[in-house]
Amino acid sequence: MNHDRADAARRGLYYSHPACLEHDPRALSPGHPDTPERLIALESALAERDWLGWERRPAPSAAEAQLLLVHTPRHVAGIRELCEAGGGAIDPDTFVGEASYRAALHAAGGACAMARDLLAGDSEVAFCAVRPSGHHAEPGRAMGFCLFDNIAVAAATALADLGPRRVFVLDWDVHAGNGTAEIFRHRTDVLFASIHQAGLFPGTGPLSDAGSGEGEGYTINLPVPPGSGEPLWIGLLREVVLPAAATFGPQLVLVSAGFDAHVRDPLANCSLQTDSFARMSSLVRDFARSRSVGLGLVLEGGYNKEVLAECVCATLSALAGVSAPRDPGERPTAQELAMIARAKAQVGNYWPL
């Protein structure tokens, strides 16, 4: 790689599209937490910082064939037809309007474009700021604010069309990534790891669930108790997730980047701080860089819009190596060390840790 291309590769890529602002569940559910203002606040904060030097790229619309790599034809048609009819409620949490299908296409398409550009060597790191979110959408079911599983569509597109044979997907949203887990449950070309608050919506992701059939071992579920903070989250990432991923040997790393494990998020009860996400980002960045593979993050949850903006700015700075988050010096408690040991024992049945 020549000098100019090497410099370009270290400048992060940022994907978004105005259509993602047009999806607004409040038209049918006043007070719904997934608002366009989440993205507006996030992008306003980045604009004030001159986008941290990242290159902005449009999130294109996904092709239906890409959606069908992970979703059933009935599901895709059902979302499209409901939106064309003016929208409605899918379940008590999930609503669509006329513009929601277009927004969802750009959300999935942005994740796919990000994967394509990372694999082409356009950058080492990328961030896809889109909505609606995706990681709860199962093959035949929209739920939890999610219509199509954006990160799963991107991973499946990469594996089908872009060359890699193995993709690692990490989900650090506070809610278990049930949709992504179900989509890849039986597969061995995707290693999926989810750190999430136990007992929270959607109620899935026990430590014992390691995937099914040939895919057993390729799903890592790491539930943490309410109130869990950085020492436990970082401990699980360092001692369980990344060692397993190292053995798996991914050729692309994707992250379902929810920021709702923050202590000030209204929908959960974990205790991460803004810098916690920067530290997790740095760890995953170093992992990807040590293997010369691209790292792409796709926005999921985060429902305090000011906190979301702070966290994304800190994350992008860490991914680009602009700031090196200082270790706060906190260490896991004896109880947390026991949780990490249990997780290592479970995951160690499948991967050397």
Give, in order, the Cα–Cα distances in Å from 340 to each of 205, 284, 286, 349: 16, 18, 22, 14
Among candidate residues 23, 75, 135, 136, the one labeled active-site is 136
- pLDDT tens digits, 33-92: 999 999 999 999 999 999 999 999 999 999 999 999 999 999 999 999 999 999 999 999
Does residue 5 sit within a domain? Answer: no
Does residue 308 sit within a domain? Answer: yes
Is there a catalytic annotation at residue 17? no
pTM of the entire structure? 0.96
How many structural domains does the chain have?
Answer: 1
Does residue 1 sit within a domain? Answer: no
Does residue 121 sit within a domain? Answer: yes
For the cut 60, the answer to whether the pLDDT of residue 9 exceeds it is no
Q: What pLDDT is attached to residue 1? A: 42
Does residue 3 sit within a domain? Answer: no
CA-nearest of 63, 34, 58, 258 to 153 is 63
For the cut 80, the answer to whether the pLDDT of residue 150 exceeds it is yes
Q: Tell how far CA 101 is from the center of its chain.
A: 20
Does residue 6 sit within a domain? Answer: no
> For position 57, which CATH number holds?
3.40.800.20
Contact 170, 193 (CB under 8 A): yes
Could you list the residue range(s) of the whole structural domain that residue 201 is in? 14-347
Does residue 7 sit within a domain? Answer: no
Does residue 139 sit within a domain? Answer: yes
